[in-house]
Structures are given as C-alpha cells and as structure tokens.
C-alpha cells in the first residue's frame, strides 16, 4: 500500500521543479568575456525608452540551486537556450514583454527522516517555456511574471524509497506536465536604479512575493482514481489533505499543505548594489560600454549597457549567501533595440 509521505514528497518535488523553472538570475560565476575599465568619465543615464517590437535574446548557461541540511539535500541545475524577450505593450507606466525559451535541467532530492533514504532524481530536456513579464518603465523593475508549460515531459527516477516494495517498471516514471505559474511582487523588484551613474549605491527593497497557479498531469489523475477505488474498500492511502490537492494541483493550496504558504518575504538589504565603474564588455551580441553594478559586495556583477537598453550580462556565485541560489550566468545574444 502506497504511503502518504511518498505521494506528498513526489507532489512536492514536482512542484519544486516547475516553480524553479522561473528562477530569475541574480548573478553568476566566472566571466567568459574580456572587459576593462573605461578611463573616461562616465555620464548619468536615465531609464531607456522601449517601443513595441523591441527584442532581446539571452543565453543562460547555468542556474544552479542547492540546499543541504543534515536530513535532506535538494539540487537543481537549469540552462535556457535562446531566452527571447519582446515588448508587446508600452501603454501607461508599465511595459509588457512576452518571452519564450528552451529549458534543459536535472535535479535530485535526497531525504532521510529516520525510516530510510528517499532518493529521487528528475530530468527534463528540451522543455518549451513561455510567458510574460510586466515591467515598470521608470525602474525596469519586474512586478509580475507569468510562466506556462504545456504537456512537457519530466522523468522521475525513484532510486530508493523506504515505504513499500516498488515494482522495477515503476522506478522510472515519465510524466507530461502542464502548468501555469503567476508570481506577483507588491514592490517591483530590480537590480537597477535610474538615473544611473558611477559612484552610487542603493538598497534591495523589501517585498512580498506571491505565487499562484496550477499543475496538471495524467499521473495525478491516476493517483486520484486509485485512491478513490481504495476508499471504497476503506483502504485509502492518501491523507485528506494530500487527496484534496488532486487531480489539478493548486499551487497556493499545495504550498500551504506541504510548506510555508505561497507568500515569501524578502528583506531590505542595504547597499546591495553599487555602480563603481563603466567598462568595455564584449558579449555574443557585440561590444558595449556598460555600467558595472556589483551585487552583494562583489559576489556577482550586473552589466547594463545604454546602447542595448537593457542588461547585457549577469554573472556571480552566491553559494552559502543566498538560500538555494548558487550560480547564475547570463549573456545577451542579440537585440533589435536602437
């Protein structure tokens, strides 16, 4: 008979892998392109003016996320090919941008709560990712993010689990997942400040981030059917809380049942960002004169180029500083902005 804890952890891990596809790069490790400080004095620059049809394409070769405690460890590695952004609306105080990308990733969950090891890995190659962003014009701060996946294949490998004998053919399970995820921030989040100039620093503003949406999969319908049949014989194997999440998992409800809820608070961090110099930076899109913005005292760097009207590179290593986020690396491939 299946165990409630296993089903809950599987749903939680499925939720984790879908939620983390929206992980927003903040910084990354090692620069792969050359740069040198400019010797001429920098000038103050205001926020760029975007027009409908402006486009930027990025490559993110690493977003690695890791969290380890004595009882469990979680690891997730993501890369995004051709993350394409396009301005679709420019009315009012906000821009609306559409985006799409091809995402590859793999992850691993290990947990031992005393009854034996739970050891599960997940892979998801060539996932089609799409969605939209709402960005404040005066700050380029993100206020809302919507992400969707439609019938994308995730493969779960149940290496070990202590709850019940599992037939060999069920050790590897492939599931097509459809999901929508909506992330809202009560304070728009940005790494930039305008007017931007060298010799300035600014804070990361406190914000409450709310996550909503749903997850659908044929496996979740199957689990619900099996549980309903078992209930007819007074043998239901899911707790009412877990059974209530099926078959379409509401992310708000799942985070409330399986975790701390769907609202996450970010504190104010004083002088989290500082613009000290301008540099000549070369990325695949070409060479740019860019403002070098240090993040958290130099753990990461964000490069903003006025000629590109956007960030052209983010790089950094946050292992041991930020929860979960370890490394990120992002570069601009091309843009139509003029």
* pLDDT score for 141: 93
* pLDDT score for 5: 47
* pLDDT score for 33: 35
Structure tokens at 184: 């809202």
* pLDDT score for 318: 62
* pLDDT score for 247: 94
Q: If you write DSSP's letter for every residue of 42-56 in order, what string do you get?
A: P--B------TT-EE
Tens digit of pLDDT per residue, the chain (338 long)?
Answer: 444 444 544 555 555 555 444 443 333 333 333 344 444 444 689 999 999 999 999 998 877 777 677 777 888 888 888 899 999 999 999 999 999 999 999 999 888 867 778 788 999 999 999 999 999 999 999 999 999 999 999 999 988 877 667 677 778 989 999 999 999 999 988 889 999 999 999 998 899 999 999 999 998 998 889 888 888 888 766 778 888 999 999 999 988 887 778 898 888 889 999 998 999 999 999 999 999 999 888 888 999 999 999 999 998 876 555 544 556 788 999 999 99
CA distance 7 to 14: 11
Structure tokens at 276: 């000290």
Model pTM score: 0.81
Q: Report H helices in the chain.
A: 4-19, 218-232, 240-243, 251-258
* pLDDT score for 140: 94
Give yes or no for a contact between 162 and 117, defined as CB atoms under 8 angstroms apart: yes
* pLDDT score for 19: 47
Q: Identify the helix (H) or strand (E) that includes residue 96.
A: strand 94-112
* pLDDT score for 320: 52
CA 80 to chain centre: 11
β-partners of residue 213 are: 181
């Amino acid at each position: 008979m299946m165990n409630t804890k296993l089903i809950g952890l599987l749903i939680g891990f499925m939720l984790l892998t879908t939620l983390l596809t929206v992980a927003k790069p903040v910084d990354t490790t090692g620069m792969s392109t050359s740069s040198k400080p400019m010797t001429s004095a920098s000038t103050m620059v205001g926020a760029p003016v975007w027009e409908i049809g402006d486009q930027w394409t990025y490559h993110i070769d690493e977003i690695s996320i890791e969290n380890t405690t004595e009882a469990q460890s979680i690891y997730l590695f993501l890369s995004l090919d051709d993350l394409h952004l396009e301005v679709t609306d420019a009315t009012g105080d906000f821009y609306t941008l559409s985006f799409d990308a091809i995402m590859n990733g793999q992850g691993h969950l290990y947990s031992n709560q005393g009854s034996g090891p739970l050891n599960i890995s997940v892979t998801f190659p060539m996932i089609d990712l799409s969605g939209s962003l709402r960005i404040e014009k005066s700050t380029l701060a993100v206020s809302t993010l919507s992400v969707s996946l439609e019938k994308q294949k995730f493969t779960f490998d149940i290496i070990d689990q202590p709850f019940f004998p599992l037939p060999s053919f069920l050790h590897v399970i492939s599931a097509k997942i459809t999901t929508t995820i909506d992330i809202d921030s009560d304070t728009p989040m940005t790494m930039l400040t305008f007017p931007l100039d060298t010799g300035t620093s600014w804070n990361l503003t406190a914000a409450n981030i709310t996550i909503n949406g749903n997850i659908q999969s044929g496996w979740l319908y199957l689990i619900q059917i099996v549980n309903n049949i078992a209930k007819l014989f007074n043998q239901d194997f899911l707790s009412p809380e877990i059974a209530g999440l099926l078959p379409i998992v509401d992310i708000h409800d799942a985070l409330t049942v399986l975790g701390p809820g769907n609202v996450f608070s970010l504190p104010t961090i004083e002088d989290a960002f500082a613009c000290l110099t301008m540099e000549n930076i070369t990325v695949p899109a070409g060479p740019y004169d860019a403002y070098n913005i240090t993040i958290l005292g130099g753990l990461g760097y964000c490069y903003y180029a006025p000629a590109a009207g956007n960030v052209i590179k983010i790089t950094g290593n946050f292992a041991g500083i930020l929860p979960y986020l370890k490394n990120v690396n992002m570069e601009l491939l091309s843009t139509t902005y003029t």
